[in-house]
Amino acid sequence: MQINDVSAIVTGAASGLGNATAAALAARGARVFGLDLDIADAPSIANVEYVKTDVTSEAEVRRAVSLAAEQGPLRIVVNCAGIGPSARILGRNGVHDLGLYRKIIEVNLIGTFTVLALASEAIAQTETLEHDQRGVVINTASVAAYEGQVGQVAYSSSKGGVVGLTLPAARDLAQYGIRVNTIAPGIVETPMLATVSEDFRAGLASGVPFPQRLGRAEEYARLVTMLVEHDYLNGETIRMDGALRMAPR
């Protein structure tokens, strides 16, 4: 499927993976609608319109989807929005905050599903292309879905859920010509990591077999564009991690 001259939605688009993805899709001719909870400091990118959106709000997501579809056809959706606070089940301050666990699941898993479902409803109404295809949804999981570390029980649960929904979602939406894939990144340089020391980042990179460095947001974005254009990749979760397998801590 071509990227040029279609509408695309990218969540978490104000920074990190989402921002790199929005820029990559816009550079290839898509009209990108960048959804994020805080868009005040989002960098200006040609052909990217930021839309303040809470991905856990059905009303706000519907509004954003309608906006993108009006400039349509809406054919590309990339879910990058997510949060990653850490806490142990039993820690120094007692049991894991149940509200925090619920919040992480709500944003990372339910938010992903909300955008996927409501955007798919709009994509299903577009004109079919070659082989009856209409569009593609790409979700973001994490290697923590497979090898969650100490303190990642909530985050790993949420990302494991994203991996788990990928194949049945692809099967559900096949009749509408919509593909669903997921990317599971390893340790990627994002604004969150910019706050830690070079020594700490070097320590993280040393655990990656090859290439022995942190991943880059631009590499995630490149994989997104490849998944959009590769019409036979469907129902798949692809690790982007340099062969990293996370240790317990």
> What tens digit of pLDDT does each residue of 11-52 get?
999 999 999 999 999 999 999 999 999 999 999 999 999 999
CATH number, residue 67: 3.40.50.720
At CB < 8 A and 24+ separation, what contacts does 61-64 make? 61/35, 61/114, 61/115, 61/118, 61/119, 62/118, 64/9, 64/33, 64/35
Find the length of the chain. Answer: 249
> Which residue, 26, 50, 25, 38, is CA-closest to 138?
25
Instruction: Report if residue 211 sits inside a domain.
Output: no
pTM: 0.95
Tell the residue number behind the tokens 């798949």, with chain if given. Answer: 236
Instruction: Report if residue 195 sits inside a domain.
Output: no
Choosing from 50, 101, 155, 220, the catalytic residue is: 155
Average pLDDT, the chain: 95
Instruction: Report if residue 200 sits inside a domain.
Output: no
Instruction: Report if residue 37 sits inside a domain.
Output: yes
* Domain around 74: 7-189+216-240
Instruction: Report if residue 121 sits inside a domain.
Output: yes
Instruction: Report if residue 31 sits inside a domain.
Output: yes
Provide the angle, in degrees to the nearest 10, between the axes of the packed helices 153-173 and 111-123.
20
Per-residue pLDDT band at 204 (split at 50, 70, 90): confident
Known catalytic residue at 155: yes
Instruction: Report if residue 207 sits inside a domain.
Output: no
Statement: residue 246 has pLDDT above 90: no
Count of structural domains within the chain = 1
Instruction: Report if residue 196 sits inside a domain.
Output: no
